[in-house]
Amino acid sequence: MKATDFNKIFDSVVEIYHQFDDVNKKCPNPYKPGSMEFLLFQKCWIDAVQWHLEDIIRDPAIDPAKALDIKRWIDRSNQERTDTVEYIDSFLLDHFKDVKPLEGARVNTETPAWSIDRLSILALKIFHMREQASRPDASPEHLQKCSDKLNVLLMQREDLTKSIDELLEDFASGKKIMKVYKQMKMYNDPSMNPVLYGKK
């Protein structure tokens, strides 16, 4: 797969999510579990739900108890997002396992899945910025500002798409070595978060 294929999946997820516009909607993943497409769809669905949770929690009139529930939901979502990114990296690591690194091969500054993660977020940013750039109730200044930002986001996605393709090509040719380091988040682990294990 190419990064342009990733973008197509992400754009489809964002469109499908907004048909329902419901953070409680179960992810309608059409792809085979364990496939790259399945992981990409799931990743972007998590991002879409979390994007809208972040909107909801910023309501100044929100009930504090509801805000706390949403904050904990966002925490769970962040962990799911990290786990899914790591599944994508594991998929790619297995895909490139038989590639023999060339002499002088280098390690990239970040794993491919974390770059792909940024593509997923960009799909959401582009959708919502395009929405803002065509709001019928907004001022001309707002529309122009959002239109300018949309152009930057589109350019950013084009550059990132090309960079990801080049990175995957470098892995395939042995020019770069793929390594994966787990995030090892500590605050969600009851045995490592002092606030949690201190209460036992």
Range 1-23 average pLDDT: 97
Q: Please state whether the predicted TM-score (pTM) of the whole model is above 0.85.
A: yes
Tokens 């469109």: give the residue.
15
pLDDT at 93 exceeding the cut of 90: yes
Domain presence at residue 74: yes
35-90 pLDDT tens trace: 999 999 999 999 999 999 999 999 999 999 999 999 999 999 999 999 999 999 99
The per-residue pLDDT for 188 is: 74
Domain presence at residue 43: yes
Domain presence at residue 63: yes
Domain presence at residue 194: no
Domain count for the chain, please give it: 1
Range 124-138 average pLDDT: 98
The per-residue pLDDT for 32 is: 98
**DSSP state letters, the chain:** --HHHHHHHHHHHHHHHHHH--TTSPP---SPTTSHHHHHHHHHHHHHHHHHHHHHTT-TT--HHHHHHHHHHHHHHHHHHHHHHHHHHHHHHHHTTTPPPPTT-EE-SS-HHHHHHHHHHHHHHHHHHHHHTT-TTS-HHHHHHHHHHHHHHHHHHHHHHHHHHHHHHHHHHTSEE--------STT-TTT-HHHHTT-
The per-residue pLDDT for 86 is: 95
